[in-house]
Amino acid sequence: MKRHLRAILAADMVGYSRLIEADEFGVVQRQKAHLSELIEPLLAKHDGRLVKLMGDGVLATFDSVIDAVSFAVEVQRAMPGREAAHPEETRIRYRIGVNLGDVLEDEGDIFGDGVNIAARLEEMADPGGICISGTAYDHLKSQVDVGYEPLGEVSVKNIEHPVRAYRVLLDADAAIVPAEKRRKRPFIPAVLVALLALGVGGWLAVDRLGFPSSDTQTDMLVSENRQDDRPSIAVLPFNNLGGGPEQDYFSDGMTEDLITDLSQVSGLFVLARNTTFAYKNRAVNVQKVGEELDVAFVLEGSVRKAGERVRINAQLIDAKTGGHVWAARYDGELTNVFALQDTVVQQIVEALSVELEADEEERLKRDVQVNSEAYDLVLRGLERMRRFSPNTNLEAREFFEAALEVDPDYGRALADLALTYAMEAEQHWTDSPQVAGQKAIQLAEEARAIDPRVAQTHFVLTVAYRVVGRVEDSIDAAHAALKLDPNYADGYATLASSLNYANRPEEALAAIRLAIELNPIAAFFYTWIEGQSYYIRGDLSRARELFERVVERNPAFTAGHRMLAATYVELDMQDDAEWAAHEVIATAPGFTVDTDPTFLTFTDEATRLRYKSSLRSAGLP
């Protein structure tokens, strides 16, 4: 066995099982033609070696990253023409991932993390697209006629550390930032990044500064929902026992449902999904998890889906002693999946001697059946939406629309569909954010009419109202969501964002702190919201520190560069401000100050003018 540094390419056919089921002979014949007429000749052209050939994919190695990416680009540019004669829904398309890494070669096969990362990057790629690792990107420079979109550091399955990733843009004019022109970003020590990722002590990501209470509804809500004597729980991702990795969406969705149901019990302190899913596919020691996350109990289990039936195994463990507090197994029909979830929650509540409020007790007695096909479609849509890109957001929307075709009164599907429009508007993934925002409001209000007790419906309205400039309505919707779900970390984060736009940064800081307490391994936008609070109140050094952390974690997040540019100007750091402005244009080529959503949403005129003046001074149009 020999170890070598290689460029590894993993390619996979999109929707292979569906295509084979529809036209087995035709798909196999077309795939053979693509291999013999396109893939194999291009491998020879770029000195690539075919390692494995599966029915739906290819694993190959190259001595050069440039050759590997050039091969991938030529394949993806050629495929639309080769499949043009077939209907859109039956066309063969590939996802391709490329990594530069160490591999172990043995009897013609290759192994190691370098191969695993290439496979995970392939899964992240869009249909017909290419995703590459940061190590590959660093060696490319401008030697391939494409553009690159930085995706930041992403967690990938079975890999301990986050992987820096880039999306390849086949249109060379769409380049985000050529590698050789990127200015070095502010340095953050790796040990600090690691500590922040673990949320050591639960509060490393924020100061413990005290702020005067303003006796607002937000202050009351935050103090009411932060009760230190509540039993604290981390729900680890349930293991998927129902099939291969393609069934992970179901076990992940069931886990998220349980987190949501538990978090609506006001007598419990439940950590958010983002934090607990950091442990997915890792062998964990429950006592160590309890210590790292500072929780008293850990819930773990498994899900097996077989046809129209589902089996849930669950066990609640004392994180201090490692002893079992409660364990059970549930079998039932998928149509009764909500009842199964409620039973799990009820028995956990009983095991921990938690006293339920009257409305919580009533909710856990619900007798709601769900169409199993619609439920499955919603879980598939959520898996796509979590990937957080314009394309996957649209793919998620299709799943939610399909669920509503099956069950038009499915409030959950309607709320999730509304969220795709709210995200599209807030992230400016559309040329008409106001139109998308109004669509989100319409759908969310319909979902609220079906079931006003769904916290996510109010959460969607928080985002959508803010997008269309209804900031006070946005704050009210956030309060409604948090009354229903006192452990809703994203609910506190979006409340904090709306409070910032209403020029109430002290309340925003209180809300974002509770969000981080509930979600210590928080997404980068929590840090951005916190930085915005400090910017508004004039604590520029702290704001700068936080915004630098944001763009380090996600270089593609334009709003981070915008706020950083304004902050640098006000700190009299003009060179750095101009660099940040360059990054704004690189990540959002059509940006202008007058169309900046942050500028448009600030309700305080003095803050608006100050922010606009700073962006103009940084050199932005």
Confidence tier at 205 by pLDDT (50, 70, 90) = very low
For 318-348, the DSSP string reads: ETTT--EEEEEEEEEEGGGHHHHHHHHHHHH
Nearest to 193 by CA among 560, 549, 554: 549
pLDDT per position as a tens digit, 471-487:
999 999 999 888 888 88
Residues 520, 521, 522, 528: is their CA dihedral positive or negative? positive
Residue 244 pLDDT class (50, 70, 90 cuts): low
User: Are the C-beta atoms of 320 and 287 separated by less than 8 Å?
Assistant: yes
Sequence length of the chain is 621
DSSP symbols for 196-217: HHHTGGGTTTS----------H
The reply to whether the predicted model has a pTM over 0.95 is: no
| Separation between Cα atoms, residue 335 and residue 328, nearest integer Å | 20
pLDDT tens digits for 516-566?
888 877 677 889 999 999 999 999 999 999 999 888 877 777 889 999 999
Q: Which residues of 545-566 are buried (b: 16+ CB within 10 A; e: fewer)?
A: bbbbbbbbbbbbbbbbbbbbbb
Instruction: Tell me how far apart the alpha carbons of residues 146 and 137 are, in angstroms, rounded to a whole number.
Output: 12
The pair phi, psi for residue 180, each rounded to 5°, is -75, -10
Residue 14 confidence (pLDDT): 84
**CA quadruple 188, 191, 196, 199: dihedral, nearest 10:** -170
Cα–Cα dist 447/442, whole Å: 9
Phi-psi region of 398 (alpha: psi -120 to 50; beta: other; left: phi over 0): alpha
DSSP type of residue 39: I
Beta strand pairing status for 239-240 and 297-306? parallel
For the chain, domains (ranges, CATH) are: 2-181 (3.30.70.1230), 193-199+516-621 (1.25.40.10), 227-363 (3.40.50.10610), 371-485 (1.25.40.10)
> Is residue 223 very low, low, confident or very high in pLDDT (cuts 50, 70, 90)?
very low
Q: What DSSP designation does 328 have?
A: E
